[in-house]
Amino acid sequence: MTDATTALATGDLAATQTSYMAQVRRKRMYSGITLLIFVLLMVSGFNIADARNAGGFWDGLHNIFDFPYAVVSEAWAKRDQLPAHMLHYVPALVETINIAAVSTLIGALLGLVLSLLSTRGMALWPALMPAFRRIMDIMRAVPEIVIALVLIYMMGGGPVPAVVAIAFHTGGALGKLFSEVNENASLQPIEGLHSVGATWFQRMWLGVIPQVAPNYLSYALLRFEINIRASAILGFVGAGGIGYELKNSMSWGMGKFDEAAAIFLLLFATIMAVDQLSSHYRNRLTQGART
């Protein structure tokens, strides 16, 4: 840019044009090289993944609808039993939703405390702020399945390992989002409360929470949406709920696909419903905060 401006100042139009064209060419070359590297990475990555997969991509491509077709045709043949199957799996679905709800609640409480402890001006021990930030980073980095598998080994299958695993990760993830919200909150109410001798808990409860509650709720709802999916997946590795039932009905294979179809439908409907509900309430919360 500096070349162009100096050239313009001397009034030499031709020099301006050449320097501008040179810059454009250089920029194009850089984007071209970046694009080339990206394409190479994608193609070679695909080839590596294809080579290491049990079945190849091109062989599998025309089989892709075989399994959905088998499930749908079997479910259609036994369509009169479908409502009964769906009813049968409702308790498992309730367990999955409960796992997501409890872990979101616990995770949100954890994240609330951690975020307050790691925000400037609100921290109870300002010297420990970086430590709490690192704790949140690590909590966020732990995939749910790691904790879930270890706990399943220790306490057997069931909802509790899933709750602990999801809540741990949620605590870190929400903690980070919450602390971003906290940074935009006004510190004046806290100072005011401090001057009248309020304790740390009172300052947070009366000075911070009313400011940030709508944004917190909105993030927690988004997390609930994510956690429903997570709790279904963890069920598949043994942590109870509808994922576990899905794994069982899948392992029975042909002849039980109507039950798998019922579970697919329930799971799909639940995820869609929670998505819609949460986005509706999130819109209301953020719009309410704006006015």
Partner 1 sequence: MTMLLTGTDLKQQAEGLLARKRLAAIAVPTVILAYFIYIFFAFDIAGLSQRLRLDNAATLIADSYSYKTEVTRDHRTGATTVAIEGERKGQYPADAPPDWVQVQGNRTVIDMGQGQTITLLPDNAVTYVIPGYGVIQAQLSNGRITSNLTEPIPDWINASGTRIAITTDTGRLTITRSKTEVFRYFWGWEMFWFALDSPYANHGVVSLLTGPQLDPARSNIAGMWNDFWMNPVWRHADTAWAISETILMAFLGTFGAALIALPLAFIAARNFTPNRVARFGIRRLFDFVRGVDALIWTIVLSRAFGPGPLTGALAILVTDSGTFGKIFSEALENVDDKQIEGIASTGAKPVQRYRFGVIPQITPILLSQILYFLESNTRSATIIGAITGGGIGLLLTQAMQTQKDWEEVTFYIILVILMVIAMDWLSGMLRRRLIQGSGG
With residues binned 3-state (H G I as helix, E B as strand, rest as coil), the percentages for the chain, rounded to 5, are 85, 0, 15
38 lies in the binding site for partner 1 (CB under 8 A): yes
- Among positions 85-104, residues that touch partner 1 (CB under 8 A) are 95, 98, 101-102
Which residue in the set 13, 33, 42, 90 belongs to the binding site for partner 1 (CB under 8 A)? 42
Which residue in the set 138, 199, 202, 277 belongs to the binding site for partner 1 (CB under 8 A)? 138
Cα separation of 216 and 184, whole Å?
A: 13
Which residue in the set 46, 76, 201, 252 belongs to the binding site for partner 1 (CB under 8 A)? 46
Cα separation of 216 and 177, whole Å?
A: 8
24 lies in the binding site for partner 1 (CB under 8 A): no
| Among the listed residues 87, 102, 77, the one whose alpha carbon sits nearest the alpha carbon of residue 159 | 102
Which residue in the set 76, 153, 201, 281 belongs to the binding site for partner 1 (CB under 8 A)? 153
Q: Are 110 and 216 in contact (CB under 8 A)?
A: no
Which residue in the set 272, 280, 283, 286 belongs to the binding site for partner 1 (CB under 8 A)? 272
Considering the complex, what minimum distance in angstroms separates the CB of residue 11 from partner 1?
Answer: 25
Cα separation of 17 and 197, whole Å?
A: 68
243 lies in the binding site for partner 1 (CB under 8 A): yes
50 lies in the binding site for partner 1 (CB under 8 A): yes
- Among positions 167-226, residues that touch partner 1 (CB under 8 A) are none
Say which DSSP state 157 is in: S
Among the candidate windows 15-23, 38-46, 186-194, 281-289, which touches partner 1 by CB under 8 A?
38-46
3-state DSSP assignment of residue 237: coil
Our CB check for partner 1 shows the closer of 13 and 269 to be: 269
Our CB check for partner 1 shows the closer of 12 and 33 to be: 33
Where along the sequence are the contacts to partner 1 (CB under 8 A)? Answer: 38, 41-42, 45-46, 48-50, 52-57, 60-61, 63-64, 66-68, 95, 98, 101-102, 105, 137-138, 140-146, 149-150, 153-156, 158-160, 163, 229, 232-233, 236-237, 243, 246, 250, 264, 267-268, 271-272, 275
